[in-house]
Amino acid sequence: MNLSLLGMPSSHFAGDTRICKVLTAIDENLVGASDTDRLASSVNLGASRLRHLFRGEVGVSLTSFVRERRIARSVELLMTTHKRINEIASETGFRGLGYFERCFRRRFGVSPTRFRRRHLPNCNEIVLRCQR
């Protein structure tokens, strides 16, 4: 999966206007983005047809795309906020902290906490001060 594309605006991906609308909906609501039936009905398609068109237009499955968008947003939040890991998981649409941590670890080889520590050396001190 080419992650450089995942950071680009939705309009970059697809020629099919229905897929463009779905990409925009995903970007605007990561929490509800995994509801394929809702996304499909919003562009007058069946869920199966949407998944087929999506893979053809974007080059990855709808599920993989949503997961990578969520991971990308979680990285942003890890680097720019002092929110707790469980808050970030919830805000980016992961259905549970354990699932978020597994997806994150699969993608980066480290937990979200370790990722934050590596990229923000003084993060522990800042977070501890914020929690007091």
For 46-96, the pLDDT digits (tens) are: 999 999 999 999 999 999 999 999 999 999 999 999 999 999 999 999 989
Q: How confident is the model at residue 31 (pLDDT cuts 50, 70, 90)?
A: confident
> What is the C-alpha to C-alpha distance for residues 37 and 47, in angstroms, rounded to an integer?
5
Q: How many structural domains does the chain have?
A: 1
> What are the φ/ψ torsions at residue 69 (nearest 5 degrees)?
-65, -40
* pLDDT more than 90, % of the chain: 68
Range of the domain at 62: 1-132
